């Protein structure tokens, strides 16, 4: 197969609810979608870089630059059959995993469509177990104005059927919050995500969280650290989960060897694509470490892809893959993802490839710019 044309769509979409983390408040989401055309098929990928280098050094600007000048010219018009061929063509490019993952996702979508199978089935080829048809999901709640607001939001999500609640924390928005939540909701499956807001000197405070029986503490320390997380893990009982710190399969291996975490959050954009995601999944599986699929406030394109990935066997913990309505009034895909309230899951599309159809009318509505590259 040959990719004849790649189009980048830079979009600006309003979020239904503002989302606040330790690195700031987001009320809108700029998104970059990539469409690759080959043999009459169109494969889609979402680049999860944001407009500021806060979660990662990548931005929509750097991703567009790297895609336009290096990634797209490395694959456009070249013959390829398998994902490995795409990886070989771009492996000379260092870093920029989010830009790479968008291209890789579109290639997977093309391969799955050309074989007439869903992305989940394609990704699950190496495993004995087939992919699941629905994926357990939880909800990630940003920093709220008050503790009472947080309690109200948790109550609301529980009544919708979510059974795992993740709260964003940061210094001075931690112990009192979690204590209050546990008083009202003593039994719920609860976890926290600090997005690197603490340092090792906060160990005594973090240790106090042990009392609240959290499912895990996600990324308390620096975004590029593994060593100090391993020191922290030895001082506390609650499992640590690494997000930002795991950017490659090698780093996942080092983290497990150092007991720096007992759970890993896999985001395909952070690690360079589904291929690398699967490598981390396999490594964790061999070591008895559970993984789950993280989220980056994706549109329906990235959401469908995350659902397919999360259907693999070692994704045993609920993913941050919310239903469409949690993020968007109008999504860029026709299909709406809804929560199955009886088991806190979302059903994975069954159609070939990603299994969703992008609405060009909605793309137009949110479009900031469009760039097309042809052979």
Residue 132: active-site member = no
Q: How far apart are CA 134 and CA 346, in angstroms?
A: 5
Under the binding rule (CB under 6 A), the answer on residue 297 touching ligand OSB is: yes
**Region of 98-106, 151-159, 289-297, 308-316 interacting with ligand OSB (CB under 6 A):** 289-297
Is residue 320 a contact residue for ligand OSB (CB under 6 A)? yes
Smallest distance, Å, CB 262 to ligand OSB? Answer: 17
Smallest separation (angstroms) from ligand OSB to the CB of 367: 22
For ligand OSB, the closer of residues 249 and 295 by Cβ is: 295
Choice from 195, 233, 277, 345 touching ligand OSB (CB under 6 A): 195
Cα-based distances in Å from 68 to 286, 344, 366: 38, 40, 21
Burial class (CB in 10 A: 0-12, 13-18, 19+), 186: exposed
140 binds, among ligand OSB, Mg ion, none (CB under 5 to 8 A by kind): ligand OSB
Scan residues 98-127 and list those touching ligand OSB (CB under 6 A).
Answer: none
Our CB check for ligand OSB shows the closer of 260 and 296 to be 296
* 222 token code pair: 């620096």
Taking CB within 5 to 8 Å according to partner kind, which of Mg ion, ligand OSB, none is near residue 322? ligand OSB
Q: Shortest approach of ligand OSB to residue 195 CB, angstroms?
A: 5
Length reported for the chain:
375
Q: How far is the CB of 23 from ligand OSB (least distance, A)?
A: 8
193 sits near Mg ion (criterion: CB under 5 A): yes
By CB under 6 A, residue 295 contacts ligand OSB: yes
**Distant-in-sequence contacts of 355-361, Cβ < 8 A, 24+ apart:** 355/118, 355/119, 355/304, 355/308, 356/300, 356/301, 356/304, 357/333, 358/33, 358/35, 358/44, 358/300, 358/301, 358/332, 358/333, 358/334, 359/332, 359/333, 359/334
Counting contacts by CB under 5 A, is residue 320 touching Mg ion? no
> Contact 268/105 with Cβ under 8 angstroms?
yes
Choose, by CB under 6 A, the member of 294, 318, 323, 353 that binds ligand OSB.
294
Does 267 participate in catalysis according to the annotation? yes
227-266 residues near Mg ion, rule: CB under 5 A: 243
# chain residues binding ligand OSB, by CB under 6 A: 11
Residue with tokens 């969703």, as numbered in its chain: 356
**The one catalytic residue among 166, 168, 170, 247:** 168
- Sequence-distant (6+) residues with CB within 8 A of 305 are 45, 46, 105, 108, 109, 119, 268, 274, 298, 354
Which structure tokens are listed for 120? 């989940």
Q: Which is nearer to ligand OSB, 114 or 160 (CB)?
A: 160
The residue (of 268 and 352) whose beta carbon lies closer to ligand OSB is 268
**Binding to Mg ion in span 198-227, by CB under 5 A:** 218
Nearer to ligand OSB, 15 or 89 (CB): 15
CA–CA distances in Å: residue 218 to residues 94, 107, 205, 364: 27, 31, 15, 37
Positions annotated as catalytic residues are: 168, 267
Binding site for Mg ion (CB under 5 A): 193, 218, 243
Binding site for ligand OSB (CB under 6 A): 55, 140, 193, 195, 243, 294-297, 320, 322
């Amino acid at each position: 197969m040959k990719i004849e044309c790649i189009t980048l769509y830079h979009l600006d979409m309003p979020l239904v609810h503002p989302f606040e983390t330790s690195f700031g408040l987001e009320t809108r989401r700029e998104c970059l979608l990539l469409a690759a055309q080959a043999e009459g098929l169109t494969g889609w990928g979402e680049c999860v870089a944001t407009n500021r280098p806060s979660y990662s050094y990548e931005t929509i600007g750097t991703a567009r630059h790297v895609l336009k000048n290096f990634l797209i010219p490395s694959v456009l018009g070249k013959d390829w059959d398998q994902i490995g061929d795409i990886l070989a063509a771009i492996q000379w490019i260092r870093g920029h995993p989010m830009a790479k993952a968008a291209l890789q996702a579109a290639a997977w979508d093309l391969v799955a469509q050309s074989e007439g199978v869903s992305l989940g089935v394609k990704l699950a080829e190496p495993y004995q177990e087939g992919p699941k048809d629905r994926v357990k999901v939880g909800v990630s709640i940003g920093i709220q104005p008050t503790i009472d607001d947080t309690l109200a939001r948790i109550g609301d999500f529980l009544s919708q059927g979510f059974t795992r609640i993740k709260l964003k924390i940061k210094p001075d928005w931690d112990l009192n919050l979690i204590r209050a939540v546990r008083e009202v909701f003593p039994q719920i499956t609860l976890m926290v995500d600090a997005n690197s807001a603490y340092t090792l000197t906060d160990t005594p405070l973090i240790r106090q969280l042990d009392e609240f029986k959290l499912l895990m503490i996600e990324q308390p320390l620096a975004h590029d650290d593994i060593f100090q997380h391993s020191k922290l893990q030895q001082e506390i009982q609650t499992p640590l989960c690494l997000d930002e710190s795991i950017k490659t399969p090698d780093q996942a291996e080092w983290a497990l060897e150092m007991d720096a975490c007992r759970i890993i959050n896999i985001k395909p954009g952070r690690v360079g694509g589904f291929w690398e995601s699967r490598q981390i999944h396999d490594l964790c599986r061999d070591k008895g470490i559970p993984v789950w699929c993280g989220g980056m406030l994706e549109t329906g394109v990235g959401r469908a892809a995350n659902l397919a990935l999360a259907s693999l066997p070692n994704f045993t913990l609920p993913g941050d893959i919310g239903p469409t309505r949690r993020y968007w009034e109008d999504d860029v895909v026709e299909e709406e993802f809804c929560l199955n309230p009886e088991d806190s899951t979302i059903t994975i599309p069954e159609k070939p490839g990603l299994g969703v159809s992008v609405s060009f009318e909605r793309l137009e509505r949110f479009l900031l710019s469009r760039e097309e590259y042809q052979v």
